[in-house]
């Protein structure tokens, strides 16, 4: 009886399946989660590209930028590092920019929410089909997990424009993200991947008209 029991392979497949199943599910769910992480990376990249474009054609967030360039030699080039940089961030319900001047919350909201109605919060209203021809989306429409305090807008002097230019100085504008983490649905609880910080990303463009009415 005992000898026959030790040689029996009945139920072996069930035992093998019980051993393999956790590994199989971990691999499958891992592929799903890492695929979603790649989607988040691409969405965040597109968001900073759009944010930089919006910042380049909108009124500046840093109000001191308009009068920051030197005026002692009209028509002379505005050399690199002649002003700023103005680094504008949003924290705890308000914003601030380095190197003096005020933080324009409405202009910052245009970068975050596009042409939708201004509010001083992290909501991201949907743009209806009827609005799309005339309403530009904001960064939050490309990356819904985005919050205002994740966005950094920097205006720098890199040798563009000339002194006493009627439209003000021509800055180089960088929009970057900070404190963004990858969101994992399945592996967060299993392996703690929900705390992985997304590498810093940025997009840099040359300022254009810096007017909210520009297209």
Residue 22 pLDDT level (bands cut at 50, 70, 90): confident
Q: From the CB of residue 148, how many other CB atoms can be counted at a distance below 10 Å?
A: 21
Which two tokens mark 186?
């399945």
For residue 143 the two structure tokens come to 């990356």
pLDDT at 146: 95
- DSSP track, 196-214: PBPPP-EEEEE-----TT-
> Degrees (nearest 5) of the Cα angle 122, 126, 132?
130
Predicted local distance difference test score (pLDDT) of residue 204: 95
Query: Which DSSP helix (H) or strand (E) runs through 5?
Result: helix 2-7
191 vs 206: CA distance, rounded Å: 42
Q: pLDDT, tens digit, for every residue of 69-107? A: 999 999 999 999 999 899 999 987 889 999 988 999 999
| Structural domain boundaries in the chain | 2-206
Provide the pairing of β-strand 202-206 with 172-177: antiparallel
Alpha-carbon span 159 to 190, nearest angstrom: 51
Note the pTM of the prediction, 2 decimals.
0.84
Half-sphere exposure of 185 (CA within 13 A, CB side): 10
Sole residue written with tokens 């003096």 = 100
Q: Rounded mean pLDDT of the chain?
A: 87
Instruction: Please tell me the distance from the alpha carbon of residue 84 to that of residue 60, in angstroms, as a whole number.
Output: 13
Q: How far apart are CA 146 and CA 176, in angstroms?
A: 12
Confidence at residue 213, expressed as pLDDT on a 0 to 100 scale: 47
């Amino acid at each position: 009886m005992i000898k026959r029991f030790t040689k029996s392979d009945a139920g072996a497949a069930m035992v093998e399946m019980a051993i393999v199943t956790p590994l199989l599910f971990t691999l499958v769910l891992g592929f799903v989660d890492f695929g979603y992480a790649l989607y988040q990376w691409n969405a965040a990249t597109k968001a900073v590209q759009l944010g930089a474009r919006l910042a380049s054609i909108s009124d500046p967030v840093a109000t001191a930028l308009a009068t920051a360039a030197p005026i002692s030699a009209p028509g002379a080039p505005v050399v690199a590092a002649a002003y700023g940089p103005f680094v504008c961030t949003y924290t705890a319900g308000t914003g601030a920019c380095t190197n003096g001047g005020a933080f324009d919350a409405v202009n910052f909201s245009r970068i975050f929410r596009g042409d939708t109605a201004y509010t001083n919060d992290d909501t991201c209203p949907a743009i209806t089909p009827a609005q799309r021809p005339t309403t530009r989306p904001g960064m939050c429409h490309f990356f819904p997990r985005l919050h205002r305090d994740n966005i950094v807008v920097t205006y720098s002097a890199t040798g563009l424009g000339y002194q006493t230019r009627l439209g003000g100085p021509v800055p180089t504008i960088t929009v970057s993200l900070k404190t963004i983490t990858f969101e994992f649905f399945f592996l967060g609880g299993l392996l703690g991947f929900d705390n992985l910080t997304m590498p810093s990303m940025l997009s840099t463009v040359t300022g254009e008209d810096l007017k909210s009415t520009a297209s």
